[in-house]
Structure 1
Amino acid sequence: MLGARGRRTPSGTPIGIDPSRSAVRLTQVTKEYGRGPSAVVALDDVSAGIAAGSFTAVMGPSGSGKSTFLHCAAGLDRPTSGTVRLGGEDLGELDEKELTRFRRTRIGFVFQSFNLLSSLTVEQNITLPLRLAGAGTDHDSVRGVTAAVGLTGLLGRRPAELSGGQQQRVAIARALITRPEVIFADEPTGALDPDTADDILALLRQAVTDLHQTVVMVTHDPAAARRTDRVVFLAGGRVARRLDAPSAEQVKSVMSELRRAH
């Protein structure tokens, strides 16, 4: 199983994290859907930085802008205004072809529904980003990643032959295989039972602690958020609160406050 919660400095900053270096930075990002009087503002002048080598949760009441935040930060959607920089690259300066290439090689994704291709084996699903990017497959890297996420011996199986937890492990291995600058996880434990969810969260925690990855996770679950280094709370499309070294109880308290206020 992946490593334990990372050690922290006396100030609460996880050891090995440089809070001055952002893996992702949103600056005055606004995202509107539609036009005119019927337009919906999903993000409203949001500025936020995600420290490199950290595990960050994004939370908020329903309709707060969590998914839009993730989609804009990951280059899946373009903001109406403002800038998004990932790994020093201004995503707004990339055309669609360049942005697609950027996502394939420098960003990893983990989704609630796993998003595996049923016709491919576990190994083929894991190495798909490499093939799409036209890169060669390093079998030592494949073996290393699959061992790290507990899939040794399952590489020849297809998704239908795996449990939900095993399928999510495949998704995490696929996200790790290119050694991306950031892994974005959208409700990665939402379809899993509590014990399996805890295992998956431990894997994501290990990706940060042991592999020095940056993970940004949208979640509604305080138990999931307590695994992270920081929680960014959204409400009404704006950043409402930030919480470092969160406990489940603290997260529940903030979420209750935000629901009452909105």
Structure 2
Amino acid sequence: MLANRYAVQLTDVTKRYGEGPDAVLALDRVSAGIEPGTFTAVMGPSGSGKSTFLHCAAGLDRPTAGEVRLGDQDLSALRERRLTELRRTRIGFVFQAFNLLPSLTVEQNILLPLRLAGRQSEPDWLRHIVGAVDLGGRLTRYPAQLSGGQQQRVAIARALVTRPEVIFADEPTGALDPETARDILLLLRQAVTDLHQTVVMVTHDPVAAAHTDQVLFLGAGRVVDGMVTPSADRVAEVMTGLRRVA
């Protein structure tokens, strides 16, 4: 199996926090491959390791053992400075809390990853993604002047602006009402279908998972199940079973 078949690949990844008898095993020899141009949900009961999975896969945290690859790049082989540069240019992030800078305008927030990476913006690409997330006419506003859904649209545009290889989304609809959440999920789906992005999303919501191509289910730090072309009902059924044994 070629490593570059996958946009992201975890091989026997273990993550342990702490030492001795009080150590917490968050991931236990997890292996998974995310193919390019797909939308994947990572789900599991509280404490199952899904956030740790995302943090290790995105290079935000280093595994205790095992290998994480972004395309052909082994993240464990990178020093911290190079890893930071990689996160700024090859990975996009969308968080539940939006994480926008209140003193910057919408346009400045979107362009921030390019500014931090010392790269020039591409006006045509900026116009394209601003149109895709329906922020036209709002570029000079500040986050406090936007609704929660509009702020998450800014965050998605910011994640797209560097043309990353993978977008990692951590509960991106968790702070939104159901109708707005649906709009955000459709935007992420559009990023995969129309912009050929790869999106990996941690979520607890079976309805959100139903927008994806596949679901990875975690339990006690291991991948315990998977589902292709998920439906909300089927996902909810698996999650109910996992909570019973958690």
- Confirm or deny a common fold (TM above 0.5): yes
Q: Distance in 2 between matches of 1:235 and 1:136?
A: 43
Partner AA of 2:79 in structure 1: D
* More helix as a share of residues: 2
Unaligned runs of 5+ in 2: none
User: Given the alignment of the two structures, is residue 123 of structure 1 paired with residue 107 of structure 2, yes or no?
Assistant: yes
Q: Which residue of 2 aligns with 1:242?
A: 226
Corresponding residue SS for 1:231: strand
Residue number in structure 2 paired with 1:39: 23
Which residue type is aligned with residue 112 of structure 1? Q
**Which residue number corresponds to residue 207 of structure 1?**
191
Gaps of 5+ in 1: 1-19
Deviation per residue, 1:100-152 (Å, 9 max, x gap): 00000000000000000000000000000000000012222211110110000
Q: 1:88, 1:53 → 2: CA distance?
A: 16
* Counterpart pick for 1:146 among 117, 130, 145: 130
Root-mean-square deviation (CA), in Å? Answer: 0.7
User: 1:91 maps to what in 2?
Assistant: 75
Identity over aligned pairs, percent: 72
1-side partners of 2:13 and 2:122: how far apart? 38
Question: Match of 2:73, as an amino acid?
Answer: E
1:109 to 93, 97, 104: 93
Q: Match for residue 171 of structure 1?
A: 155
Task: Give, as a single letter, the amino acid of the residue that structure 2 aligns with 1:52.
Answer: P
Report the Cα offset of residue 86 of structure 1.
0.6
Return the TM-score normalized by structure 2: 0.98
Residues in 1 aligned to 2:121 and 2:225: alpha-carbon distance in whole angstroms: 42
Aligned residues between the structures: 243
Question: Structure 1-normalised TM-score?
Answer: 0.92
1:29 aligns with 2:13: yes
Decide whether the 8 Å contact of 2:5 with 2:71 is kept in 1. no
Partners of 2:213 and 2:126 lie apart in 1 by 28
> Matched residues in 2 for 1:190 and 1:229: separation?
20
Could you say which residue in structure 1 is the equivalent of 2:42? Answer: 58
